[in-house]
Amino acid sequence: MGAAVTDRVPNTPVAAGAPRAPLDLQSRLSHLRQLESESIHIIREVAAEFENPVMMYSIGKDSSVMARLALKAFHPAKPPFPFLHIDTTWKFREMIEFRNWFAQENGLELIVHTNQEGLRENINPFDHGSQKYTHIMKTQALLQALSKGGFDAAFGGARRDEERSRAKERIYSFRDRYGQWDPKNQRPELWNLYNGKLQKHENIRVFPLSNWTELDIWLYIHLENIPIVPLYFAKERPVVKRDGAWIMVDDDRIPLEPGEKPVLKSVRFRTLGCYPLTGADLSTAVTLPEIIGEMLATRHSERSGRLIDHDEDASMEAKKREGYF
C-alpha cells in the first residue's frame, strides 16, 4: 500500500482529520444519515428526561462513533454529561493514550474508574480466569462507578448485531439497584417514543447504536473521518498464539510459557478490550477502505475474537443479568 494512502490513517491519533464539508441535507437520505438522526434523537431524549446521565466510553470504534453522535447532538454546546471509562489496567497501552488525547481534544469531562479492591488483590486474567476477572474488574467496577456518580442513565455502545442474545435487547434497558437486568420486566418500544419513567432505585442502560451493524460503524467512521485507535489498522506487532487466537504481547505482564516466544506478525484488531483477552486478526489492511473491503469479504463474527464470550454458552446473557453491559 502506497504512502499516499497510509498518510490518512491516524497512526498517531492527532493525525485525525476534521469533519468534512457541510452535508447536503437535501440529498436523498442515506441509511447512515437516518441511523445518525435516530441515535441523536435517543441521546437528546435521555439528556432531557434523566437527571444524571453518563456516557460509557470504552475507547473502541463503537465508543468513538457514539461520542461523535453525542458531540453532534448538542453542538455548539458540549454534551451535558460526563464520559466514563472503566479501566481494568489491562487495556492496550495505545488505548489509554488515545483515550487521554480524545477527551482533551474534544473538551470532554472524563471519569476513569478502577476497582481498587480488585487492584489491591491483583485480580488478573491469568491467575483468576477470564470470567472471575471480568466480573470483578469490569462488572463490579462499573457498578461501583455508577453508584458513586449517582448516575440514573448510562449510555453504552452495544449493537444488536453483535451476538444473538442482543437481538431482542431494548434501547432503554432497565436495571434494578444492583444493576441487574430483568428480562421479564422490559417495556415494549414503539415508534421513537421512549418511556423513561424510573421506579425508585432503578436506572437504565441506553443503547443508541442498537440498530447499527459493524459495517455501518465502519462506513460511518470513513464517511465522517472519525479518529480511532491505531490498533484497528494492521501493523507488525509481537504476538503469541493462545487457544487458537493471536494475543498481543503489549507489556511484560503476560506470562510466557516455557519456550514460548513472541513473533512479529502483521495484525489488526476488530474489537478492542483487555489485551490478554483480545484476539488479533492477521491482516494487511492499513486504511479504512481496506478494512471495509476485508469486512465485506470476511465471514467471521467480530466477537469470535473475544475470548470472554467463549467461556460458556449464552455467556453474554448471563453477564448481562449480573450487570455487565
* Positions in 160-179 near other proteins (CB under 8 A): 160-161, 164-165, 167-168
CB of 4 to other proteins, least distance (A): 10
For the bound state, the minimum distance from the C-beta of residue 63 to other proteins, rounded and expressed in Å, comes to 17
Contacts of 22 (CB under 8 A, 6+ apart): none
Contact 173, 205 (CB under 8 A): yes
How many binding residues for other proteins (CB under 8 A)?
A: 81
Does 293 engage in binding with other proteins (CB under 8 A)? yes
Choice between 14 and 190, CB closer to other proteins: 190
Residue 310 sits in the site that holds other proteins (CB under 8 A): no
- The footprint of other proteins on residues 184-203 (CB under 8 A) is 184, 186-195, 197-199
Only one residue has cell 506487532, namely 237
- Asked if residue 100 binds other proteins (CB under 8 A), the reply is no
Q: Are 303 and 163 in contact (CB under 8 A)?
A: yes
Closest separation in Å from C-beta 21 to other proteins: 7
Confirm or reject binding of residue 22 to other proteins (CB under 8 A): yes
Q: Which CB sits closer to other proteins, 256 or 264?
A: 264
* Separation between Cα atoms, residue 306 and residue 280, nearest integer Å: 9
Helix (H, G, I), strand (E, B) or coil at 272: coil
Q: Nearest CA to 215 among 92, 91, 62?
A: 62
- Which one of 213, 235, 318, 322 is in contact with other proteins (CB under 8 A)? 213
β pairing state of 279-282 and 203-206: unpaired
Nearest to other proteins of 83, 194 (CB atom): 194
Annotate each residue in 103-122 with x if it binds other proteins (CB under 8 A) or - if it does not, as one string: --------------------
Cα 234 to Cα 268: distance, rounded to the nearest angstrom: 4
Backbone angles phi, psi at 258, to 5 degrees: -55, 130
CB burial of residue 72 (10 Å; 0-12, 13-18, 19+): middle
Q: Which of 8, 33, 113, 128 binds other proteins (CB under 8 A)?
A: 33
For cell 443503547, the residue is 207
In the list 14, 77, 107, 258, the residue contacting other proteins (rule: CB under 8 A) is: 77
Q: Any idea what DSSP says for residue 220?
A: H
Question: Which of 202/251 has CB closer to other proteins?
Answer: 202
User: Is there binding between residue 25 and other proteins (CB under 8 A)?
Assistant: yes
Nearest residue (CB) to other proteins, 176 versus 294: 294
Total residue count of the chain as it appears in this document: 325
